[in-house]
């Protein structure tokens, strides 16, 4: 499904700025009242600089490619459609793949098994991915979700626990996660 996404978009449609979700996360975090905001913003800014400097090709993306936004068609269960397009943006393929595997890597359990199987399928069928870029995208996406959860409120069932788990995961990565962003290779393996 992800491989056909760029061709599915309307030609001539105005393209958002590359990496628009990073800008959106920054705006949301900057408005947050929490005392941890400065640390989260600094971390996001460090990742954003590294991600924007990466030479991976940019393309149209779903922007929120996670299992809750894909549905099988009743008429053809082997076919699927994507829902929830408001986060469509331009970036590297790894951003959407981070959406598929990020929550599984953060929360573990059955969600992780499905996500890793999906990634393995992509690696067998799709173009090569940059695993260091994917790792940095997973961290940036976790910050994006933290920003959105803070803005929407953590009062829905399960949301507070998932927010706490994401924050704990980010804290566990600590400076190692930010340092990992600096290790993103200067050249993408997908570049000719």
Domain total for the chain?
Answer: 1
Residue 5 lies in a domain: no
The predicted-structure confidence for 87-110, as pLDDT tens digits, reads as follows 778 899 999 999 989 988 998 888
Phi, psi for 125 (deg, rounded to 5): -105, -30
Average pLDDT over residues 30-50: 85
Instruction: Identify whether 163 is part of a domain.
Output: yes
Query: Does residue 95 lie in a domain region?
Result: yes
pTM for the complete prediction? 0.80
User: How confident is the model over 52-89, as pLDDT tens digits?
Assistant: 999 999 988 877 777 666 666 667 767 777 666 767 78
**Coil, helix or strand at residue 115:** helix
Residue 191 within any structural domain of the chain: no
Please give the mean pLDDT across all residues of the chain. 78
Q: What 3-state class would DSSP assign to 133? A: helix
Q: What per-residue confidence (pLDDT) applies to 15?
A: 60
99/103 Cα distance (integer angstroms): 7
Average pLDDT over residues 103-121: 87
Tell me, what CATH number does 59's domain have? Answer: 3.90.1200.10
Question: What does the buried/exposed string (b/e) look like for 162-183 if buried means 16 or more CB atoms within 10 Å of the residue's CB?
Answer: bbeebbebbeebeeebbebbee
Is 133 a member of any domain? yes
The boundaries of the domain holding residue 36 are 16-182
């Amino acid at each position: 499904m992800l491989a056909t996404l760029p061709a599915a978009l309307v030609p001539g449609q105005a393209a958002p700025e590359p990496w628009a979700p990073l800008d959106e996360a920054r705006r949301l975090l900057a408005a947050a009242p929490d005392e941890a905001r400065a640390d989260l913003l600094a971390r996001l800014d460090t990742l954003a600089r590294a991600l924007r400097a990466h030479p991976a090709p940019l393309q149209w993306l779903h922007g929120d490619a996670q299992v809750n936004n894909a549905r099988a068609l009743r008429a053809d269960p082997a076919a699927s459609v994507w829902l929830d397009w408001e986060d469509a943006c331009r970036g590297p393929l790894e951003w959407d793949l981070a959406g598929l595997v990020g929550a599984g890597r953060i929360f573990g359990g059955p969600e992780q098994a499905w996500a890793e199987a999906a990634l393995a399928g992509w690696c067998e069928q799709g173009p090569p991915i940059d695993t260091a870029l994917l790792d940095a995208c997973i961290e940036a996406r976790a910050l994006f979700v933290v920003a959105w959860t803070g803005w929407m409120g953590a009062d829905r069932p399960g949301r507070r626990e998932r927010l706490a788990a994401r924050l704990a995961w980010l804290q566990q990565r600590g400076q190692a996660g930010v340092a990992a962003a600096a290790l993103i290779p200067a050249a993408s393996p997908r570049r000719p």
